[in-house]
């Protein structure tokens, strides 16, 4: 049973210190690269430096996702229960830094796969932890704008890290990108630790409602029983799984396609360009999503889901590197919207239950399963039928995700919440 000390201030009047809010900004900036691990840069490294096959690359990249799947639900539940969110966040960041450096220091299959497992376990922590710390600092009423700000800063951090990765990959080596990830991990640890502990209301961070909402849930099912009985959560989770199954493999496949026939340094530049284009678009899109979210979630999320199949089809219509990079604008629109609204929708559906992070973890487990299988699935298609076939199959799955969202997921923002 969790002890419940008196909150530093009523939830609806949360006023965290400016220094803590700035530290949260920096944490989101430096976590940009850390939360997702090496991603497509690992694919380029394995293809151009270690000369792995597309299928082998897909399997190696799936390992991190599988590890995240296993760790995600326990991580979400731990975030709901612990008051040491900052300590665990620092440990997770340093684990990723260590795994990144070991990958280039001992580039053998066992070390690379083991490093991906470690990164996957650590990455499972950050999503619910940062969302919980944010909610515990600002409360439900300010969550829309603050999550929008978090994601905006996070994408700005991705632009910075992608620029640095492109420069390092081109002028130094692709191995230097792994060092960059380690440095970003250490800086994120410092930023998280600078958030003042007294500025986090850990009961509010669980999703306990403001103004007495939590007290009204005594006769409702608790724990995973509550999640499984909520059809809106289940259909939202299904839509997210299909969305990420379709989306996760697209950028790594694009990176491999661009890397064909060129050197590793140039491949890193192209991949950085893909990421930079998407992340630059995500910066204003995330900000605007946070501003418009109080008027309704679903209409905005439908836009994010709709652009994904279009993106998949467009990848098959050209081999020009410049046009392929330009198509990443659509990735920026979709990911910018989804990153903000996925957190807000879970907050809407769990408000007053104390299950905010547990539900995030459960949904992220399902999403992680879809993402991890996506890379192996797409790698197999490429091996047998080519890149265009893989992109078209992924686009078809994205259409299914859009249909589930349209027909089965309700609007979660009500007039009473405004």
Which residue would you say has higher pLDDT here, 253 or 228? 253
State yes or no: pLDDT of 262 exceeds 70.
no
Report how far residue 65's alpha carbon sits from residue 123's, in angstroms, rounded to the nearest whole number.
9
Report how far residue 20's alpha carbon sits from residue 14's, in angstroms, rounded to the nearest whole number.
13
Report how far residue 418's alpha carbon sits from residue 416's, in angstroms, rounded to the nearest whole number.
6
Report how far residue 200's alpha carbon sits from residue 135's, in angstroms, rounded to the nearest whole number.
8
Per-residue pLDDT tens digits for 270-283: 777 887 888 889 98
Report how far residue 100's alpha carbon sits from residue 256's, in angstroms, rounded to the nearest whole number.
21
- Kindly report the average pLDDT of the chain as a whole number: 83
Residue 3: per-residue pLDDT = 42
Are 310 and 330 within 8 A, CB to CB? yes
Q: H helices within 84-198, ranges in order?
A: 85-105, 109-138, 143-171, 175-193
Per-residue pLDDT tens digits for 373-411: 887 788 888 888 888 999 999 999 999 999 999 999 998
Handedness of CA 217, 223, 224, 225 (dihedral sign): negative
Region 21-209+225-417: CATH code: 1.20.1250.20
Per-residue pLDDT tens digits for 313-357: 999 998 888 898 899 999 999 989 998 999 899 888 888 777 888
State yes or no: pLDDT of 85 exceeds 90.
yes
Per-residue pLDDT tens digits for 25-81: 999 999 876 666 566 677 777 777 777 777 777 777 778 778 878 888 888 889 988
Average pLDDT over residues 194-200: 94
Contacts of 176 (CB under 8 A, 6+ apart): 168, 169
Residue 218: per-residue pLDDT = 44
pTM of the model: 0.74
State yes or no: pLDDT of 109 exceeds 60.
yes
For 7, list phi and psi in degrees, rounded to 5.
Answer: -65, 150
Q: C-alpha angle 341/343/345, rounded to 5°?
A: 65
Residue 165: per-residue pLDDT = 80
């Amino acid at each position: 049973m969790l002890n419940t000390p008196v909150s530093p201030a009523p939830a609806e009047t949360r006023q965290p210190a400016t220094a803590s809010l700035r530290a949260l900004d920096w944490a989101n900036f430096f976590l940009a690269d850390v939360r997702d691990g090496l991603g497509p840069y690992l694919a380029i490294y394995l293809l151009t430096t270690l000369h792995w096959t597309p299928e082998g690359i897909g399997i190696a990249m799936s390992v991190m996702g599988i590890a995240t799947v296993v760790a995600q639900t326990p991580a979400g539940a731990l975030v709901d229960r612990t008051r040491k969110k900052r300590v665990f966040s620092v440990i997770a960041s340093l684990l990723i830094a260590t795994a990144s450096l070991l990958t280039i220091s001992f580039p053998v299959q066992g070390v690379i796969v083991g490093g991906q497992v470690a990164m996957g376990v650590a990455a499972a922590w950050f999503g619910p932890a940062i969302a919980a710390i944010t909610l515990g600092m600002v409360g439900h009423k300010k969550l829309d704008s603050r999550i929008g700000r978090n994601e905006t800063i996070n994408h700005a951090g991705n632009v910075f890290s992608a620029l640095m990765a492109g420069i390092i990959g081109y002028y130094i080596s692709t191995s230097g990108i792994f060092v960059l990830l380690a440095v970003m991990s250490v800086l994120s640890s410092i930023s998280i630790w600078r958030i003042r502990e007294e500025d986090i209301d850990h009961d509010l961070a669980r999703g306990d409602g403001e103004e007495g909402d939590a007290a009204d849930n005594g006769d409702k099912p608790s724990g995973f029983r509550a999640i499984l009985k909520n059809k809106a959560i289940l259909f939202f989770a299904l839509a997210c799984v299909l969305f990420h199954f379709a989306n996760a493999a697209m950028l790594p496949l694009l990176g491999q396609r661009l890397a064909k026939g060129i050197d590793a340094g140039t491949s890193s530049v192209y991949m950085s360009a893909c990421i930079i284009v998407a992340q630059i678009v995500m910066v204003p899109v995330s900000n605007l999503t946070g501003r418009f979210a109080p008027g309704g979630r679903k209409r905005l999320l439908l836009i994010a889901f709709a652009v994904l199949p279009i993106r998949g089809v467009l990848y098959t219509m050209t081999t020009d590197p410049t046009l392929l990079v330009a198509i990443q604008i659509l990735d920026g629109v979709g990911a910018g919207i989804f990153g903000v609204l996925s957190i807000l929708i879970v907050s809407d559906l769990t408000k007053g239950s104390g299950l905010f992070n547990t539900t995030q973890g459960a949904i992220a487990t399902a999403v992680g399963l879809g993402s991890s299988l996506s890379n192996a699935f797409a790698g197999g298609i490429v091996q047998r039928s080519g890149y265009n076939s893989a992109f078209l199959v992924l686009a078809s799955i994205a259409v299914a995700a859009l249909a589930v969202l349209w027909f089965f997921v309700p609007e979660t923002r009500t007039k009473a919440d405004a």
